[in-house]
Structure 1
Amino acid sequence: MLFPYIYVPHQMEKMQEFIDFIFYEVWCKTPTSGPFGLNLFDGKAELREVMEAFYYSDAQSAYFFYGHVERIYSLFSALLPPQISQFQHWYQGNNDLEKICANDPTAHLARYSEITVDYPTLSAQLASFFKGLYSQSLLGLAALKAKIGEIDDHYQAFVQVNKAGKRPFCGMADLQGEYHSTREAYDHYLPKALYPFNSINLHNLVPACHHCNSSYKTSKNPAYMPKDPARAANRRKVFYPYANMPRAIELRVELQHADIEHLTPAEITLHFGPEDISEEIDTWRNVYGIEERYKAKFCAENDGKYWLMQVLDEWQEGGKTPADFLATLAQQATKRPYAECNFLKRPFLEACRQIGLLDSP
């Protein structure tokens, strides 16, 4: 990830507060709470109002929400205290996104596949509920929307703060901003198909372009490496999308020959740094197809080849030497690295210089 997003607090966070209450104060307290009823939500007045509205509603999404909360309550009532404690550890761990991304061993990360081993029926109900939470038909219900606001409003607040203009997962595509009539889709960074408990947590929801989300990330699991029999454990570190301390990615490009017109991706080598975040970088490269996408850009007629032509044209026609061009580009890349893909243009042209393409005739 080239740079982190700035997290933007919003009224939508209240939905996660509702789910926290349902989990800790309703489901986890089944041994002492008696039969399921609206009284169980008295400790959270706004949620009580929502549940009451859903109870009397004919809307399918209202029935979905209320019915799942009740059914899961019934399944939790059969659990023993140590089992409930285990679920609490899983819930807390899956919602501590920063620790998960850092592969902190104190975060008890849980997947549906692991829960299913001992709790198949409960796992199925949790999966149905949490996969369905991030649904416009549910979030758009008047009783709920009045409490939590709308995701479109969050996006408008988000782009007012996140002004880089590019998407941090690739750095190439524009982020649809305040002057667009549409918005980016929110990607579940930890896929909701694999992980329970965090599908409505804003820390796990990140705007991402179609190429990053649907073409490359798809169903990949950022927290785990692809299966490798040679590894005892396959958990891995991954960039936290809302990190407070941004880290600059270093990129060096090597070209195997000077025939740019016939350059292929196989003849390009990319070196990423710094070394102290190499694991996070490797995860990012794997999940978002970074090597393929950057190499393709270097080989493209209107990108890498055009960048080289710019230098040569300014040298021949404007008297601006390649050294002058690269010096100016270095300044631009420092101030605006993602404008005109300067973070890619500069290392590519430096690689061209290394193999003599910018030498004096």
Structure 2
Amino acid sequence: MLFPYTYVPHQMERMQKFIDFIFHEVWCKAPTSGPFGLNLFDANAELREVMEAFYYSDAQGADFFYGHVERIYGLFSALTAVQIKQFQQWYQGNNDLEKVCANDPATHLARYADIAVNHKNLAAQLGTFFKGLYSQSLLDLAALRAKIGDIEDHYQTFVATNKAGKCPFCGIGDIKGEHHSKREAYDHYLPKALYPFNSINFRNLAPACHECNSTYKLSKDPAYNLAGRRKAFYPFAAAAQIIDIQVALQHSDIENLKPTDVQMQFGPAAITEEIETWKDVYGIEERYKAKLCGENDGKYWLTQVLDECQAYDKQPADILAMRAQQAQSRPYADCNFLRKPFLEACQQIRVL
């Protein structure tokens, strides 16, 4: 990840607070709380109002929410105290995104597949519920919207603070900002298809460009690969990790440059594992190499330098020095973070 987002508090966080209450105060206490009823929500007045409105509503989203909360309550009521404690650890782990990304060994991370080993029916019900929490048919219901606001307002609040205008996961794609009437999709960083408990947690929701979200990442898991758990960049990290990119070209025939002719190195070494996860999940090397070989990117950048040298009677080193300054001050404008190492590679093989 090239740079982190700044987390922006918003009214919609109340939805996760409602889920926190349902999980800890309703489901986890089901073995000793008796029959399911609205009285179980008395300690949370706002949620009680929502549940009561849903109980009397014939809207599909209302029936979905109320019905699944009740069905999952019934399944939790049969769990032992030890099993309840395990679910509590899973719930906490899945919602502590920063520790998940750091691969903290004390964090109990759980996928639906892990839960299904011993709780097949419960895993299925949790899957339907948590995957459906993010649906507009639910979030647009008046009784709920009055309590949590709406996601369009969240997005406008978010981009008023996060103004880079570029996708932090790739640095290439644009992110629609406050002057657009449309918005980007939110990526579930831990995919909602794989993980319960955090599908409406905005620490797990980050706007991403279409290519990152819908073409490359899809349901790829940043927390696991075939070898097991791995580190990943946390989208809302307090401090940015500066990634160094170096390019080497195998020959000087830029017009016929192919991705196989391009070598890329990423650093620093201290965050190698996070970088490898990032490259894997978002197809970074493929996308960057394709850009360097493109007519309107790498080849154009080279032509632009040569044209400027001729027009202004400059040496390539002068132009490259200016590009280096631009890359430092505005790395994501015109893909300066990629243009600089590409032009340096061209200089190394004496194309410049």
Above 0.5 in TM-score? yes
C-alpha contact (below 8 Å) 1:314/1:321 kept by paired residues: no
Structure 2 match to 1:102: 102
- Deviates most, 259-268 or 210-219: 210-219
Structure 2 match to 1:296: 290
The structural deviation recorded for 1:210 is: 1.2
Q: How does 1:115-194 map to 2 (within 5 A)?
A: 115-194=115-194
The structural deviation recorded for 1:35 is: 1.1
Q: Distance in 2 between matches of 1:98 and 1:12?
A: 20
TM-score normalised according to structure 1 size: 0.97
How many positions carry a matched residue from both structures?
A: 352
SS at match of 2:203: helix
TM-score normalised according to structure 2 size: 0.99
Q: 2:263 aligns with which of 262, 265, 269?
A: 269
Structure 2 match to 1:338: 332
The structural deviation recorded for 1:323 is: 1.1
Give the % identical residues: 72
The structural deviation recorded for 1:330 is: 1.2
Q: Distance in 2 between matches of 1:16 and 1:297?
A: 39
C-alpha contact (below 8 Å) 1:329/1:346 kept by paired residues: yes
Cα offsets for 1:7-30 (capped at 9, x unmatched): 110000000000000000000111
Q: 2:323 aligns with which of 299, 306, 329?
A: 329
Q: Distance in 2 between matches of 1:91 and 1:334?
A: 41
Q: How does 1:64-79 map to 2 (within 5 A)?
A: 64-79=64-79
C-alpha contact (below 8 Å) 2:3/2:241 kept by paired residues: yes
Q: Distance in 2 between matches of 1:123 and 1:288?
A: 28
Structure 1 vs Structure 2 CA RMSD: 0.7
The structural deviation recorded for 1:221 is: 1.0
Structure 2 match to 1:39: 39
Q: Distance in 1 between matches of 2:173 and 2:70?
A: 44
Kindly provide the amino acid, as one letter, of the partner of residue 222 in structure 2. P
Q: Distance in 2 between matches of 1:297 and 1:125?
A: 44
Q: Distance in 1 between matches of 2:308 and 2:177?
A: 34
SS at match of 1:106: coil
Kindly provide the amino acid, as one letter, of the partner of residue 18 in structure 2. F
The unaligned stretches of length 5 or more in structure 1 are none
The unaligned stretches of length 5 or more in structure 2 are none
SS at match of 1:243: coil
The structural deviation recorded for 1:320 is: 2.0
Structure 2 match to 1:214: 214
The structural deviation recorded for 1:314 is: 1.0
Structure 2 match to 1:320: 314
SS at match of 1:203: coil
SS at match of 1:118: coil
Q: Distance in 1 between matches of 2:31 and 2:151?
A: 36
The structural deviation recorded for 1:245 is: 1.1
The structural deviation recorded for 1:316 is: 1.5
Cα offsets for 1:152-177 (capped at 9, x unmatched): 00000000000111001110111100
Structure 2 match to 1:244: 238
Structure 2 match to 1:3: 3
Cα offsets for 1:241-263 (capped at 9, x unmatched): 00001111100000001110111
Cα offsets for 1:134-163 (capped at 9, x unmatched): 000000000000000000000000000001
Q: Distance in 2 between matches of 1:173 and 1:131?
A: 27
